[in-house]
Structures are given as C-alpha cells and as structure tokens.
C-alpha cells in the first residue's frame, strides 16, 4: 500500500485540540442563537457580513439530541425516527459485514467556528475553545461502539483565522473552498489512521491544481427577504483540481469503481457540481481525488445526507449487487445540523 500522506498531516488531523469551554460560554452562544431564532426570518443576518441558516442555530440551541432527548430535540416527522445514534450504528454494522470501513465526517456548524456574527466573541489571547459539548459527547459514544469519527471542529477552530480566507462562506450555508481542502487532507489522514488500505492507483493522466478567486451568489444571499438591502456578492478563493491544461484544469468525473465512496449532502457537491453549486472542479470530491491520486465515487444529495443519501446507496447496490465489493471505505460527510434538523433517521438495508 502506498503512503497516503506524510505524518505531518496525521498530526494536523488528530493532534489539534481546542481548550475546554466554560459552560457559561457555551450557554452564551445558545442564548444568542435562541434570541435570533425568535425573529422568525428565513435568514439570520449577523454582524460583519455573516449570514446564518436558522436551522443551524436551532440545532446548537437544543443541546443533546440522542437517546431520551431525541424526540424533543429533533424535527423528525415521527418520534421513532428522531434518534441518529442507532441508525449510524446500524449503517456501520452493515458496512463492516460487507468488509467496508465507515468514516463519519460531520461538518461543524458555521456559527460554532465564527460566532462573532451573533455578537459572541471568543476569549482574547487564547486559542478558541469548543462550545459544543453535545457534539463531543455524541462522537465519544460512537467511537465507543467502534465508529471512526473525524471531528473537524478542533482543526477548524485552529485554522479559522489562517491565510486564504474564512472556512465558511459568509453568504452561503456551505463551507469555503479552503475548508474543503483542509477537510480532504484530514480525511486522507484519518483513513491512514484507521488502517484503510487502498490499492495503488493506476498510472494515468496527472492531476493539476490551480487557485482562482471567484464571485459567488450564495444561497443565503438569494434567500434574503424582500426589503432587505442585499450586500455585495462575496468572493472566495477556490483550488481547482483536474486534468489537461494546468492553468485551467478540466474537472474530474467521479468513478463508480473507486474504492473510496463519498456519501452525504450538498457539502460534497458545492464547488463540484457547477451551476447554483457555485463552481465545478473545486469541491471535496476534487480535493480528495488530487490527494489520493485517483477519482472517488460520489453519492450526494442536495437535501438531507442522513436518510436520502443512504437510500440512493441502497438503490445503487440493488442495481449492482457487486457494487460494495469494490469499496474499501465510505466517507459519510454531512452537516452536523442534520442530527436534529432532518425529517428523520431511518434504518436503510443496503445489502442486495
């Protein structure tokens, strides 16, 4: 097996930790989120040009969201579909029985990394602390049951003010181009840490990477209600990865035969799918392909990455019973607000 990435990247993914937060600090963020939710607006207009999705603020405000707390915390249409814990464990079990490793990669809420838009500031002259005790407890439960969880929050807090711009779009619900690259590096390191062995990629057309600054029309910008003055559209720096001309790489198509399947929501499509997904060739699938030296497979939906994405996987397996035999790992990446804001967490049998 080839080495996936240098050891320094392993340290970047797993050696970064955020200092513990005082409970009063976490409560201050929850209180600020609650106060803005009372406005009942489709978009929360924050300070410093930050726009937030109300569902994301609600997710942080509800606290614990599994077990006995699930029914009250979740927006699921049925109480028996409110708890994500047994469903994730069931998916992990099914994949393990098929010889496939699961890597769970929840995308941290924007407001958790950039709370200043709500008027809540991190302590000065200190590393930014974590204000998400419920996420930490949930991920610990999953790890106790053998699930590989890549918690990006410590990395994102450490890198939130780094060169290259913010880790989230100010005017869109998704992460930025810089975040997709950091996440891809952390995912590749996590695969090595989990002992996932990938076959050597076939020698083929080399991949090229090129940075460009583009103007985007974010979904939150488009959702601003009538009568609200729209700010100037934001610009973001994107790392385009592809083949052909090094100055203008041609996007990489997903490969259904790839041993790596990227599964989830639109965080896997933004900057990859083109059109209203803001760009093509600069999303998470593209960054992973460039780092792994091979295209990845992709099953991603614009809606919920919780149940609908797994239903699409089930359909693909039923159409090709040998499909999972080609896979070594499923990287399940979706926004963390899905733990409470999806319409339901339902078990999905993925076998043929």
Note whether residue 348 is domain-resident. no
- Name the token pair of 238: 């994107």
Provide the pLDDT for residue 61: 92
Note whether residue 2 is domain-resident. no
Q: Which residue has the tokens 């339902």?
A: 346
Provide the pLDDT for residue 22: 53
11 pLDDT more than 90: no
Q: Could you tell me the pLDDT band of residue 37, with boundaries at 50, 70 and 90?
A: confident
Provide the pLDDT for residue 25: 72
Note whether residue 186 is domain-resident. yes
Full-model pTM: 0.92
Lowest mean pLDDT among 2-16, 47-61, 195-209, 258-272: 2-16
- Residue 232 CB burial class (10 angstroms; 0-12, 13-18, ≥19): exposed
Q: Are 75 and 340 in contact (CB under 8 A)?
A: yes
User: Could you read off the pLDDT of 270-287 as tens digits, one per residue?
Assistant: 999 999 999 999 999 999
Note whether residue 203 is domain-resident. no
Which structural domain range is residue 125 located in? Answer: 7-198+210-341
Q: What does the alpha-carbon distance between residue 151 and residue 161 come to, in Å, rounded to a whole number?
A: 19
Q: Phi-psi category of 207—alpha, beta or left, where left has phi over 0 and alpha has psi -120 to 50?
A: beta
What is the DSSP secondary structure assignment for residue 162, as one 8-state letter? S
Instruction: Count how many domains the chain has.
Output: 1
Q: Could you tell me the pLDDT band of residue 8, with boundaries at 50, 70 and 90?
A: very low
Residues 139-146: what's their mean pLDDT? 98
Note whether residue 351 is domain-resident. no
CA dihedral 313, 258, 147, 352 (to 10 degrees): 40
Provide the pLDDT for residue 12: 36
68 pLDDT more than 90: yes
16 pLDDT more than 70: no
Which residue, 24, 2, 9, 36, is CA-closest to 111?
36
Provide the pLDDT for residue 253: 94
Provide the pLDDT for residue 19: 58
Provide the pLDDT for residue 13: 39
Provide the pLDDT for residue 320: 95
Q: Which residue has the tokens 């990006």?
A: 152
Note whether residue 346 is domain-resident. no
User: Could you read off the pLDDT of 149-164 as tens digits, one per residue?
Assistant: 999 999 999 999 999 8
77 pLDDT more than 50: yes
Provide the pLDDT for residue 4: 38
Q: What does the alpha-carbon distance between residue 322 and residue 248 come to, in Å, rounded to a whole number?
A: 36
Note whether residue 350 is domain-resident. no
Q: Could you tell me the pLDDT band of residue 127, with boundaries at 50, 70 and 90?
A: confident
Q: Could you tell me the pLDDT band of residue 329, with boundaries at 50, 70 and 90?
A: very high
Note whether residue 205 is domain-resident. no
């Amino acid at each position: 097996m080839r080495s996936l990435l240098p050891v320094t990247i392993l340290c970047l993914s797993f050696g970064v930790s955020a200092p513990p937060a005082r409970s009063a600090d976490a409560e201050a963020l929850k209180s600020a989120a609650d106060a803005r939710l009372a406005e009942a607006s489709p978009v929360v207009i924050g300070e410093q040009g930050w726009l937030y999705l109300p569902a994301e603020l609600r997710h942080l405000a509800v606290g614990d969201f599994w077990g006995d707390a699930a029914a009250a915390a979740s927006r699921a249409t049925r109480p028996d579909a409110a708890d994500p814990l047994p469903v994730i464990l069931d998916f992990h079990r099914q994949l393990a029985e098929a010889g496939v490793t699961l890597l769970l990669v929840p995308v941290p809420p924007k407001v958790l990394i950039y709370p200043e838009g709500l008027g809540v500031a991190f302590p000065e002259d200190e590393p930014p602390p974590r204000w998400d005790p419920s996420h930490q407890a949930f991920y610990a439960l999953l790890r106790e049951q053998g699930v590989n969880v890549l918690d990006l929050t410590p990395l994102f807090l450490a890198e939130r003010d780094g060169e290259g711009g913010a880790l989230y779009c100010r005017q869109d619900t998704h992460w930025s181009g810089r975040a997709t690259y950091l996440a891809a590096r952390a995912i590749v390191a996590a695969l090595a840490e989990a002992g996932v062995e990938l076959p050597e990629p076939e020698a083929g057309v080399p991949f090229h990477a090129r940075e460009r600054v583009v103007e985007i029309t974010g979904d939150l910008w488009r959702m601003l209600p009538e009568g609200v003055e729209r700010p100037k559209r934001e610009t973001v720096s994107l790392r385009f990865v592809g083949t052909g001309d090094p100055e203008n790489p041609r996007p990489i198509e997903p490969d259904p035969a790839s041993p790596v399947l990227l599964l989830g929501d639109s965080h896997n499509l933004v900057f990859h799918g083109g059109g209203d997904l803001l760009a093509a060739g600069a999303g998470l699938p593209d960054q992973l392909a460039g780092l792994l030296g091979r295209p990845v497979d992709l099953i991603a939906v614009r809606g919920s990455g919780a149940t609908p994405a797994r239903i699409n996987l089930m359909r693909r397996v039923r159409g090709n019973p040998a499909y999972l035999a080609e896979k070594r790992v499923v990287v399940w990446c979706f926004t963390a607000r899905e733990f409470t804001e999806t319409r339901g967490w339902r078990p999905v049998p993925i076998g043929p």
